[in-house]
């Protein structure tokens, strides 16, 4: 871990941000599901860019991802990802449709997933904005259901500009019947990264 941004202190800061961001997202999701959800403390880890998709199975594993760009004080991109299993469970829980594979999704599931991604990313970003007192203007989220490797190449490239390491935030929700695993990738550009950290009292030594 030779990247100046991705040290232990920064991980702790983002753990705290993610804890609050994810609990906002969890309550939003619970409302949508009409169920009680328990959230585990998010796991923030630094991984090699090229090892990213292994976490989701392999590069060909189908996942559902929502991407948005951030503007304002914080610029960059944010992504929310669910693996195939969790996505199918969510579709079943909310719109009561059972799919064999995500390859079978139709317009109805697509609009649900778009809405889901919208809610989860907005909840996270509004928590981040409040916590740091920074203005974050998210774009309209975009949904993509495709191979994990292909989707993850987008944040990996964004990170690739800075280093070979990237930060992955893993959140687990438990409903009364199911365990759902989701991931966030928060990819601020370099000046925004510094802004986020310094707004929380962490200084970056060059």
Binding site for another protein (CB under 8 A): 3, 49-50, 52-53, 58-60, 62, 67-71, 75-77, 103, 139-140, 142, 144, 146-154, 156-158, 160-164, 190
Give the nearest distance from C-beta 62 to another protein in angstroms: 6
Residue 195 token pair: 């802004």
Locate tokens 């599931």: which residue?
109
Nearer of residues 99 and 144 to another protein, judged by Cβ? 144
Give the nearest distance from C-beta 34 to another protein in angstroms: 30
Give the nearest distance from C-beta 142 to another protein in angstroms: 4
Please give the angle made by the CA atoms of 45, 46 and 49, to the nearest 5 degrees: 125
Give the nearest distance from C-beta 188 to another protein in angstroms: 11
Nearer of residues 39 and 150 to another protein, judged by Cβ? 150
Nearer of residues 137 and 179 to another protein, judged by Cβ? 137
- Mention every residue, 6+ apart, whose C-beta is less than 8 A from residue 104: none
The rounded distance, in Å, linking the Cα atoms of 1 and 166 is: 10
Nearer of residues 119 and 152 to another protein, judged by Cβ? 152
Find, among 55, 59, 62, the residue nearest to 101 by Cα.
Answer: 62
Nearer of residues 13 and 67 to another protein, judged by Cβ? 67
Angle between helices 84-95 and 8-33 (to 10 degrees): 30
Q: Give me the numbers of helices (H) and strands (E) for the chain, helices first please.
A: 5, 8
Locate tokens 């983002």: which residue?
14
Give the nearest distance from C-beta 19 to another protein in angstroms: 26
């Amino acid at each position: 871990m030779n990247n100046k941004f991705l040290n232990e202190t920064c991980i702790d800061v983002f753990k705290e941000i993610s804890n609050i961001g994810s609990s906002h997202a969890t309550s939003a999701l619970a409302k949508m599901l009409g169920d009680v959800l328990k959230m585990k403390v998010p796991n923030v880890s630094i991984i090699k860019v090229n090892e990213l998709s292994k976490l989701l199975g392999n590069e060909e594993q189908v996942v559902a991802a929502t991407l948005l760009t951030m503007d304002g004080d914080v610029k960059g991109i944010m992504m929310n990802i669910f693996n195939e299993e969790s996505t199918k469970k969510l579709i079943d829980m909310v719109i009561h449709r059972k799919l064999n594979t995500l390859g079978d999704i139709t317009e109805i599931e697509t609009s649900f997933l778009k809405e889901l991604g919208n809610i989860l990313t907005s909840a996270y970003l509004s928590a981040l904005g409040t916590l740091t007192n920074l203005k974050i203007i998210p774009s309209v989220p975009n949904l993509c259901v495709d191979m994990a490797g292909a989707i993850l190449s987008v944040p990996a490239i964004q990170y690739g500009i800075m280093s070979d390491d990237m930060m992955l935030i893993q959140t687990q929700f438990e409903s009364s019947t199911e365990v759902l695993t989701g991931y966030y990738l928060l990819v601020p550009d370099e000046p925004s990264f510094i802004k986020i950290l310094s707004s929380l009292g962490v200084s970056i030594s060059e």
